Copies of this chain bind each other. A is one copy, B any other.
């Protein structure tokens, strides 16, 4: 990584959490200047536009979640344990002090009706997230861990929607009950499908 690439990465790492928190329209270049302690020319020497910074920030946030999740799931062998770990991860994200909501939801809600490119990024991320869960269920069936009646696709859609909705509701109401009820229900459903 040469200087330019390192600087680019540095700016994205500083900008991404701010954009996730304040939104794309709500974040100004001066916010990013302040966070990076760089002048405007320094920023624009590395990016074409604010839009590009937003898109790359979203990529960065999504990738970070993906790798974190990959590492955590690798600690377990049983599909049930992997699914449980996944649920715990999202639950912790909803209540964590330093987390400011799911980037998919945050960027997606703003991009809807205004930014087709970002919307496309989100659409892919949703598919990938649901596919991860679906694969875990399917693999669990293959290995004989889960009953054959466990519908992978239905479960992954349901679980995804419930988790996203619950993380948001918990943040809004300041009440962790929402996410707790949801993760408990999903855990029970997984357990019920164990052989």
Contacts and interface: CB of A to CB of B under 8 A. Distances in A.
A161 B154 contact: no
A67 interface: no
Contacts of A122: 172
A83 to B, nearest CB: 18
A105 B109 contact: yes
Interface in A117-159: 119, 122-123, 126-127, 154, 157-158
Contacts of A177: 157
A23 B22 contact: no
A108 B16 CA distance: 20
**Main SS at interface, chain A:** helix
Interface string A158-176: 1011111110110111100
Given A23-B23, A25-B26, A165-B165, A173 B109 contact: no
Contact of A112 (B100, B113, B154, B161): B100
A166 B85 CA distance: 23
A122 to B, nearest CB: 5
A178 interface: yes
A110 B23 contact: yes
Nearest 5 pairs of A and B residues by beta carbon? A161-B165, A165-B165, A164-B165, A25-B26, A25-B25
